[in-house]
Amino acid sequence: MNELSTVQVQQVCQAVRQAGQQAEQLSRHQFQVSQKGPDDFVTSVDQALDRQLSAQFATWFPEDGIVTEENPQSTQAFHAGYSRLWVIDPIDGTDDFIQGKPAYAVMIGLLQNYRPVAGWVYAPVEDQMYFGGPGWGLFQALKGEIPQELIPKEPAQPSDNFCPILIGYKDQLRYGDIICQAIPEAQFDTLGSFGLKVLEVIQGRAGLYLYLNGRVKLWDTAGPLALAQAAGLTCCDLDGQPIGFTPDAIAPDTLTHNQPILVGWPRYVELLQPRLAAVIVPVES
């Protein structure tokens, strides 16, 4: 996998779970909400956990770069030539967190030479941890117990009456009708966090996840796509090109992906990607 020791993996798991449990506790009390941009909100909980996790990772990994969602200055680390870069999303699915819904997560990704090599996704409401990476494996731990291997589960092949697809609410509003014209058998579902949607595919509750609205950023994808690759999923754009994490594939200031994103089981991607590419003009980031 990479050079992380067992102790370091345990430290990361503990830090992510601690942050998630704090988020869950703080969600029951009043917190501040502010707007970063159009339909882009942040809470005082996001900001506090961002500072906490940043400090912990800077202590544990002083030679590595750190990029976090709520520290705009940290984006400079992406361009600083670090061979290893930690990417931190203190709350993925902030809208759900604000609305008191359960589908939010704390996420960590590790890039090595601009490739996702490890990821952590923690669902606080379920107290469920998922982590792993390519060449390492996939693991899950419920309520802080000893991690167990997570076995990916491939869903049944798409057919005339079965084709489960995860898609964000905004993407479904924009593209739902045209996708249904191209793929009449499509059955849509959604939930908040990008990472939790990827895990739905890994666990066989959907065959494909589409993200098309041009707003997904490095901290949304690094951890979940490391898990997806470890599960044997295909991570590509509408043209079938692999999702890139190099500077030419990422907007320099916002760290937004330049590509639309498909994450799915290979057979689903093979069958559906050409049909989607023929009808969808994605939003540019």
**One domain for residues 171 and 98:** no
pLDDT in tens, 123-181: 999 999 999 999 999 999 999 999 999 999 999 999 999 999 999 988 999 999 999 99
Are 190 and 259 contained in the same domain? yes
- d(CA 204, CA 5) in angstroms, rounded, equals 30
Query: How many other C-beta atoms are found inside a 10 Å radius of the C-beta of residue 166?
Result: 24
Q: Are residues 18 and 141 in the same domain?
A: yes
Please check whether residues 10 and 123 belong to one and the same domain.
yes
Range of the domain at 174: 164-277
Task: Yes or no: say if 23 and 104 are a contact pair by the CB < 8 Å rule.
Answer: yes
Measure the CA angle with vertex 121, ends 19 and 150; round to 5°. Answer: 130
Average pLDDT, the chain: 94
Q: Are 94 and 30 part of one and the same domain?
A: yes
For the whole model, what pTM was predicted? Answer: 0.95
Q: Are 107 and 173 part of one and the same domain?
A: no
Taking only the tens place, the pLDDT of each residue in 107-118 is: 999 999 999 999
Same domain, 195 and 143: no
Tens-place pLDDT, residues 37-61 = 777 788 889 999 999 999 999 999 9
135 Rama class: left (phi>0) / alpha (psi -120 to 50) / beta: left
Asked if residue 256 belongs to a domain, the reply is yes
pLDDT digits (tens, 9 = 90+) for 69-121: 989 899 999 999 999 999 999 999 988 888 899 999 999 999 999 999 999 99
| Among 124, 149, 174, residue at a domain's last position | 149
CATH number of the domain encompassing residue 56 = 3.30.540.10
The domain total for the chain is 2
Asked whether residue 101 is domain-assigned, the answer is yes
Domain boundary among 114, 149, 184: 149
CB 269 within 8 A of CB 234: yes
118, 205: one domain: no
133 in Cβ contact with 2 (< 8 Å): yes
CATH code of the domain in which 227 resides:
3.40.190.80
